[in-house]
Copies of this chain bind each other. A is one copy, B any other.
Amino acid sequence: MRLNLNKIIITMQALKATLQKEGLRYTRQRQEIWNELRSSDEHRDAEEIFFTLRKRGLNISRATVYRTIDVLVKNNLLDKLDIGDGRARFEYNEKYFHHDHLVCTRCGKIFEFHNDNIEELQNEIAKQKNFKILHHNHQLFGICEDCQ
């Protein structure tokens, strides 16, 4: 209980701190979007966040959702995920648990994976080409266990 509460307080301050750093105001909408994005481990898209908050009675627009998410991604509070269906997904960036994704092309489910060896090999590749990696995309597409 206490731990969860702490976590919430900490992440709320992460938002406040980020907004301050960017010279932006702490508004009801930004707060609610950030809370909503952190409320589940799912890979959410903008439309879904918009509708969820709307249904909950909050006065909010798609524009604000997109604008806020943009700030959050740029400041690494959020990871942006592109699975190639033309709709971006977002997930809370836990920072110390980077992961990549397996995407089932039949049911659309998204699974996570992490492999230190791959991360290391990526760094080597970049070093060889004198390329400075900022971030990466790594998705394996296929059929999940349930769908086979």
Contact A137 B137, beta carbon cutoff 8 Å: yes
Assuming the A-B contacts A84-B82, A117-B121, are A111 and B138 also in contact, with contact meaning beta carbons closer than 8 angstroms in the complex? no
Q: Name A144's closest neighbour in chain B (CB-CB).
A: B131
Contact B142 A126, beta carbon cutoff 8 Å: yes
Chain B: minimal CB distance from A43 (Å): 15
Contact B118 A131, beta carbon cutoff 8 Å: no
The count of chain A contact residues (Cβ–Cβ below 8 Å) is 34
Contact B134 A137, beta carbon cutoff 8 Å: no
Chain B: minimal CB distance from A81 (Å): 10
Tell me whether A145 is interfacial, beta carbon within 8 Å.
Answer: yes
Contact B134 A142, beta carbon cutoff 8 Å: yes
Chain B: minimal CB distance from A147 (Å): 9
- The contact string, 1 if C-beta is below 8 Å from chain B, for chain A 130-148, is 1111111111111111001
- The contact string, 1 if C-beta is below 8 Å from chain B, for chain A 108-139, is 00010101011001100110011111111111
Closest A-B pairs by Cβ, 7 of them: A133-B142, A130-B145, A137-B139, A134-B142, A132-B143, A82-B84, A136-B140
